[in-house]
Amino acid sequence: MVLTPDGLLTTLISADTWTMLFWRGFLMAITLTIYSVFKHRKKTISKYFVKHNRETVIASLAVAFLFAISSISFVTAIVNTNVANTLFLITISPLFAVGFAFIFLSEPVSKTTVIAILITIIGMAIIFGNGISKGNLIGNLAAVLAAASWAGSLVVLRKSVITNISLTIAAGGYIIAIISLIMAPTLKINANDILWVGLQGLIILPLSFGLISLGPKYLPAPEVSLIVLLEAVFGPLWAWVFIKQLPSNASLIGGLIILITLAVYFFLSVRQNYKSFS
């Protein structure tokens, strides 16, 4: 629930896209770095990287870069389309994760997963078809890239031994800030934008991504994915309540196809997991 207002706040920010990205990434990175330093008082950041082997460091950097790509793509999507389209398309990230795991890790894919992927492609096609007619193609493509890169980071996290995920995500924030510093025409933002960016960078982003990264330790992955789907439900709701932003009928139909398919898919996965343990 903490992450659900992010799309709305991004829409409310009037600053240039790269200026917004700089402050989002920088503030989030600083917050997570401070948290990591206090949590691991006995380990300095340099000792953390020296202690781990080369593969772990490479995995951490891969996650950081993928997270940076996902965040930049998310903001680009919000700016070039609407909150609903962006969040509907980003919800397919778990299916991307399954596909990446199959391609790169040779993990098996169930028939249920294949069916879910095919149905969500139909929902995506409806959203994309509507986006082309309304000039939202760039935003929709950016949302899919955000979903794919986020899924890639989760696959790397699952198959690597990264003990300090918060610091890894912070590294992604610094990468965003460095890229944005080069691209942004200015770093100045007005008073209203300071409030919205501050909420994002100091509270919403570090807290939500920190909690999401902890989720798999206590819940099966399908249950975590079901909880993350809440953003696609409440995110468009906040946009409608506060700025009267409504998705088109076609986008709503495509989004509902995706959401219902994923909800059923994850429900079946959770039930199968419980049957396996019982």
- 3-class secondary structure for the chain? CCCCCHHHHHHHCCCCHHHHHHHHHHHHHHHHHHHHHHHCCCCCHHHHHHHCCHHHHHHHHHHHHHHHHHHHHHHHHHHHCCHHHHHHHHCCHHHHHHHHHHHHHCCCCCHHHHHHHHHHHHHHHHHHHHHHHHCCHHHHHHHHHHHHHHHHHHHHHHCCCCCCHHHHHHHHHHHHHHHHHHHCCCCCCCHHHHHHHHHHHHHHHHHHHHHHHHHHHHCCHHHHHHHHCHHHHHHHHHHHHHHCCCCCHHHHHHHHHHHHHHHHHHHHHHHHHHHHHC
- Alpha carbon separation from 1 to 86, 126, 211, 266 (Å, rounded): 17, 27, 11, 18
User: Is 104 in contact with 59 (CB distance < 8 Å)?
Assistant: no
The pLDDT value given to residue 67: 93
Per-residue model confidence (pLDDT) at position 43:
57
**For residue 181, what pLDDT is reported?**
97
What's the whole-model pTM score?
0.86
- Please state, in angstroms and rounded to a whole number, the distance separating the CA atoms of residues 147 and 225: 13
Q: pLDDT of the chain along its 278 residues, tens only?
A: 677 889 989 999 999 999 999 999 999 999 999 988 887 665 555 555 555 677 888 888 999 999 999 999 999 999 998 888 888 888 888 888 888 888 888 878 788 888 988 898 898 888 887 766 665 788 989 999 999 998 888 888 877 777 788 889 999 999 999 999 999 999 999 999 999 999 999 999 998 877 766 655 555 555 555 566 667 778 888 888 888 887 788 888 988 998 888 888 878 877 776 666 55
User: Cα dihedral angle (112, 117, 122, 124), rounded to 10 degrees?
Assistant: 150
Burial of 111 (0-12, 13-18, 19+ CB in 10 A): exposed
The answer to whether 169 and 209 are in contact (CB under 8 A) is yes
